[in-house]
Amino acid sequence: MQKQLGKFALVEAWGAEYTERMTQSLRWLQSEIADRMLQKLDIVKLDPRDVLLIPDFSGAHAEFLSKRFPKVAFHSVAEEGLSGIDLWRFQIARKWNSIFRGGSSPSLEVFQKTGRIGLPDNSVDLIFSDLLIQDLPDPKHFLQECWRVLREGGLLTLSYLGPDTGKELRAIEGPSNLGIRPLLSSWDMHDMGDALLGERFSDPVMDMEFLTLDYESDALMLSDAQALGLIRPLKTSEESSELPKKLTLELVYGHAWALGKHLAKAQNQVAYIDPKQIQRKTISDSD
């Protein structure tokens, strides 16, 4: 069931209880959310030639999307910190994709340093971004880059951690030596919906859900909180009393279309045509 909220659609949230352990790399969460994002794409009519995965966690997301979009060319942005066998597998898979399908491997590090996705304008039909926005200092700039590289009629689909993530840690009373950190970007789904409209995306749809992780071990809870970036790295000798036995993850999902890219950015509800798109009609000698 959907409700209309402001200028974008809101799908009602639901809660779920999870007891599965998270790994330090969050691999299970990355794969789980990618699978849910694909389920949301089931109702979308799209036949992409080029897909940007940002990030492509150890190449896992390409496997998900290959089942939905056979023969697509993947432009895969590797997650930070890949090493060893994970890095080797990622490089082999992307090299194979590049040779036979024309894909590429832009750098997440370069994007974070320069603010530019390493792809030409109007070069992809689908951007699949899983659990990235919360780690960006300027999500609006990321949306601008997505608009730049999407072709006319392309789709941006994304997921990220919302501001209620880890609320149990912030509720700890008294002094704490955990070094609790806020998310670098704490946008809720309303912020994202408004930002998508502000950056000229069309028909944004936002929804969210809460996942609750229950713990029997303080060590596991702290490990997961650190992996999520909710606390600073702890020394083994550090302890804290009254630790929560669960962590809430607020997961925000959204998608929006890149339409009307030939129009200049609207001002005061008026869209202006780029003069470069205006062609003079000529009359041939035979007319």
Give the domain ranges of the chain: 2-277
pLDDT of residue 91: 52
Distance CA 266, CA 275 (A): 14
Distance CA 269, CA 153 (A): 21
Please give the model's pTM, rounded to 2 decimal places.
Answer: 0.77
Distance CA 102, CA 74 (A): 8
pLDDT of residue 139: 96
Distance CA 236, CA 52 (A): 39
pLDDT of residue 31: 83
Distance CA 150, CA 126 (A): 7
User: At the topology level of CATH, where does 2-277 sit?
Assistant: Rossmann fold (3.40.50)
H or E segment to which residue 160 belongs: strand 150-161
pLDDT of residue 275: 47
Q: pLDDT tens across 135-177, in order? A: 999 999 999 999 999 999 999 999 999 999 999 998 886 666 6
Nearest Cα residue to 256 out of 139, 162, 149, 143:
143
Mean pLDDT split into 10-residue runs, the chain, 287 residues: 40 37 62 89 88 77 74 76 49 48 61 87 95 93 97 96 94 75 92 96 96 89 88 65 88 96 60 45 45
